[in-house]
């Protein structure tokens, strides 16, 4: 996302998901952040004109043969640098310090003592708790650096060279387990970098509206409206920019939750002053998915079929040239970009066909889910849209483990509706990132009414998360789980067993496929 008027901090990604979390924390301080590859050159940094640079954590050792490095000239640009964990060790190594493995590791909550006059710890307690996760450590600070904090296992837990604007901390200020971490980051952002807290929902809307107008001009635009928060906010932003040049297309691919098509019609015709075309394409999608069991193939089929339906509909509404998508930053990361591995191909990123006729407009591509919700509220969207739990673009197809059939879709819809109803009844809907049902396409033996059954199992999945990059399984009360299980088995005849998924992400993903 480009916003030339906003002060920007570059977060250099060293291969762990710490970079995404750091970027979010910087944005929470109302400073624009941008994640960049470790391969970025000093000249590229100079052209971007950041007010600060953060070197993220990572899994490697700085003295390994294949260690991740950066262009050392970056440290001489006069741009303040903060190294975190691996970034702290790399900074020390590049500046002439000593990094080694002493055989002593620190993991988890660790006491920290501030030992010197410090900018990073300004107005903070001399004794505090931080979150450590390291085996290597900085044994000697580089020349010109002052050691300003230590811990039992890290004699150089924090160091500063104010003259050069170089700072390093061994711990992770970006995680919630470091209670004063946000204050440490803000001291760097505000007092060291001089960043202005101008990255707000209002500024994001303004910059995106300007960008959309520049891209689209006076051309016709269509938006793939799913009913979820991402596509809704994307549609609202584009409508704010180009008004009646926008036509929203709701494709009912037959993979939606119970009563969803009717809810989308009712909600969006009432809240959007735009054309809404409802395309009923369930037969077409199911025919394409017949016999397909591989999850990546499912996603690619659904992604391509979506685009073909949009292209055909676009020709019917005046040869639209642009397609709006609610793609988010985690979608891009998980589909493989920069230093990140491909976790799974999102249908709206890696699943898109190469020969598309439409040019994409993706106003949310560099935003996290929490930022999207705030923007939705700023745009005046109703709470039932803004706070709706995420739903994958491929829909129930990636919650059926095996071939997608009408029968299995009916079973899963009925079970999923019960899961959501019980979560709402317990008052937990806003506390949980996602809660849903999964249908493995296998049969299990059961007994009902003194007779043998051979029916489907249902797996209930509920997780808590901030941005879907990581997630923990939700500790639902036993009575809620009992109500779900009892209702599903009694109300969905094709099911005789209910299980609860207690896997976190990582190592699992939120969706099963």
Give phi and psi for 273, each to the nearest 5. -90, 60
Cα(65)–Cα(112) distance, integer angstroms: 31
* For residue 60, pLDDT beyond 90: no
Q: Reply yes or no on whether 304 is catalytic.
A: no
In the numeric block, the tokens 């998901």 are attached to 17
- Does residue 342 carry a pLDDT above 80? no
Digit-coded pLDDT (tens) for 453-483: 788 999 999 999 877 778 899 999 999 999 9
What span, in angstroms and rounded, lies between the C-alpha atoms of 158 and 83?
A: 10
What is the C-alpha to C-alpha distance for residues 351 and 331, in angstroms, rounded to an integer? 11
Quick one: tokens of 186? 């803000």
Q: What is the DSSP string of 268-307?
A: HHHH--SEEEEEE-HHHHHHHHTT---HHHHHHHHHHHHH
Nearest Cα to 300, choosing from 288, 311, 290, 291? 288
Residue 490 tokens read as 């009694």
> Quick check: is 174 catalytic?
yes
Q: What angle do CA 271, 274, 280 make, to 5 degrees?
A: 90
Q: What is the mean pLDDT of residues 303-320?
A: 83
The reply to whether the predicted model has a pTM over 0.85 is no
pLDDT of residue 179: 93
Q: Which tokens in the block code for residue 261?
A: 């098509």
Catalytic choice (106, 160, 174, 260): 174
**What digits encode the pLDDT tens for the residues 398-430?**
999 999 999 999 999 999 999 999 999 999 999
3-class SS letters over 118-132: CCCCCCCCCEEEEEE
**Strands 52-55 and 8-13: what pairing?**
parallel
pLDDT of residue 415: 98
pLDDT in tens, 89-148: 999 999 999 998 877 778 889 999 999 899 999 999 999 999 998 888 999 999 999 999
The per-residue pLDDT of the chain, averaged, comes to: 88
User: Does position 352 have pLDDT exceeding 80, yes or no?
Assistant: no
CATH placement of domain 8-192? 3.40.50.880
- pLDDT of 375 > 50? The answer is yes
- Write the CB contacts of 188 (distance below 8 Å, at least 6 apart in sequence): 52, 54, 80, 82, 119, 120, 167
Q: CA 137 to CA 429: how far, in whole Å? A: 43
CB neighbourhood size of 5 (10 A): 10
pLDDT score at 474: 97
The residue extents of the domains of the chain are: 8-192, 201-386, 399-500
Alpha carbon of 384 to those of 137, 165, 228, 232, 419: distances in Å? 48, 46, 10, 11, 18
Task: Give the strand pairing for 451-464 and 444-448.
Answer: antiparallel
Nearest in space to 157 (alpha carbons), one of 149, 145, 165: 149
pLDDT of residue 345: 40
The percentage of the chain sitting over the pLDDT mark of 70, rounded to a whole number, equals 92
- Catalytic residue, chosen from 30, 88, 134, 172, is 172
Q: What is the pLDDT of residue 28?
A: 93
Assess contact for 68 and 38: CB atoms under 8 A: yes
CATH homologous superfamily, domain 201-386:
HUPs (3.40.50.620)
pLDDT of residue 348: 45
Mean pLDDT of 419-447: 94
Only one residue has tokens 């609202």, namely 236
Which DSSP symbol is given to 244? G
Contact 458, 438 (CB under 8 A): yes
Token pair listed for 229: 């928060």
**Which residues face 161 on adjacent strands?**
166
Candidates 112, 156, 107; CA nearest to 132 is 107
Q: What's the rounded mean pLDDT across residues 162-190?
A: 96
Contact 271, 381 (CB under 8 A): yes
Of 218-222, 266-270, 357-361, 399-403, the poorest mean pLDDT is in 266-270
Spatial separation of the C-alpha atoms in residues 47 and 32, rounded to whole Å: 16
In 3D space, the residue among 249, 243, 227, 239 whose CA is nearest the CA of residue 316 turns out to be 249
193 flagged as catalytic:
no
Under 8 Å between Cβ of 364 and 238:
no
- Do 8-192 and 399-500 come out as alike in CATH topology? no
Residues 6+ apart with CB under 8 A from 206: none
**Model confidence pLDDT, tens digit, residues 183-241:** 999 999 999 999 999 999 999 999 999 999 999 999 989 888 877 889 889 999 999 99
Given a cut of 90, is residue 500 above it in pLDDT?
yes
How far, in Å, CA of 443 to CA of 431, rounded? 33
**Confidence bin at 268 (pLDDT 50/70/90):** confident
Q: What is the CATH number of domain 399-500?
A: 3.30.300.10
Query: Which residue in the list 30, 85, 183, 223 is annotated as catalytic?
Result: 85
Output DSSP code: residue 57: -
Return the bridge partners of 471, or none: 505
Q: Is residue 33's pLDDT more than 60?
A: yes
* Maximal C-alpha separation, the chain: 81
Rounded CA separation 102/121 (Å): 27
User: Average pLDDT in the 283-291 region?
Assistant: 96
CB half-sphere exposure, 341, CA atoms < 13 A: 3
Which of these ranges, 160-174, 280-294, 323-337, 419-433, has the smallest mean pLDDT? Answer: 323-337
């Amino acid at each position: 996302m480009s916003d030339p008027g906003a002060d920007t901090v570059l977060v250099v990604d060293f291969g762990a998901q710490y970079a995404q979390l750091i970027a979010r924390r910087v944005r929470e301080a109302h400073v624009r952040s941008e994640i960049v590859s470790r391969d970025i050159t000093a000249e590229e940094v100079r052209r971007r004109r950041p007010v600060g640079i953060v070197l993220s954590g990572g899994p490697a050792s700085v003295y390994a043969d294949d260690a991740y490095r950066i262009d050392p000239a970056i440290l001489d640009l006069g741009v303040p640098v903060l190294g975190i964990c691996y970034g702290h060790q790399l900074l020390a190594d590049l500046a002439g310090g000593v990094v080694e493995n002493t055989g002593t590791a620190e993991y988890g909550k660790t006491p920290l003592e501030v030992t010197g006059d410090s900018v990073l710890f300004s107005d903070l307690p001399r004794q505090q708790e931080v979150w450590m996760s390291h085996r290597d450590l900085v044994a000697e600070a580089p020349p010109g650096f002052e050691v300003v904090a230590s811990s039992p296992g890290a004699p150089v837990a924090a160091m500063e060279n104010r003259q050069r604007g170089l700072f390093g901390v061994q711990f992770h200020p970006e995680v919630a387990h470091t209670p004063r971490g946000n204050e440490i980051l803000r001291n760097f952002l505000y007092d060291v970098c001089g960043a202005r807290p101008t990255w707000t929902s209002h500024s994001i809307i303004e910059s995106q509206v300007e960008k959309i107008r520049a891209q689209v001009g006076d051309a016709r635009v269509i938006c793939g409206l799913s009913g979820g928060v991402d596509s809704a906010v994307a549609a609202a932003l584009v409508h704010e920019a180009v008004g009646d040049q926008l036509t929203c297309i709701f494709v009912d691919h037959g993979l939606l939750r119970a009563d969803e098509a009717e809810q989308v019609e009712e909600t969006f015709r009432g809240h959007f002053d735009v054309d809404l075309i409802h395309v009923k394409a369930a037969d077409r999608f199911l025919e394409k998915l017949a016999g397909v069991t591989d999850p990546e193939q499912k996603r690619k089929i659904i992604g391509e079929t979506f685009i073909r339906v949009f292209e055909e509909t676009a020709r019917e509404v005046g040869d639209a040239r642009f397609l709006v998508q609610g793609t988010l930053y985690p979608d891009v990361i998980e589909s493989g970009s920069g230093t990140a591995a491909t976790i799974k191909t999102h249908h709206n990123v890696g699943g898109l066909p190469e020969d598309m006729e439409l040019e994409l407009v993706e106003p949310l591509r560099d935003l996290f889910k929490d930022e999207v919700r705030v923007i939705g509220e700023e745009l005046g969207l109703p709470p039932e849209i803004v706070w709706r739990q995420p739903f994958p673009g491929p829909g129930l197809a990636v919650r059926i483990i095996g071939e997608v059939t009408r029968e299995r879709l009916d079973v899963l819809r009925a079970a999923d509706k019960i899961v959501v109803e019980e979560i709402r009844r317990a008052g937990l809907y806003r506390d949980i990132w996602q809660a849903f049902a999964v249908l493995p396409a296998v049969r299990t033996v059961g007994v009902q009414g003194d007779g043998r059954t051979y029916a489907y199992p249902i797996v209930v999945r509920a997780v808590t998360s901030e941005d879907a990059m990581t997630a923990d399984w939700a500790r639902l009360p036993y009575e809620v789980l009992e109500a779900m299980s009892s209702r599903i088995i009694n109300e969905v005849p094709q099911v005789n067993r209910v299980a609860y998924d207690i896997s976190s992400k990582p190592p699992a993903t939120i969706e099963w496929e």
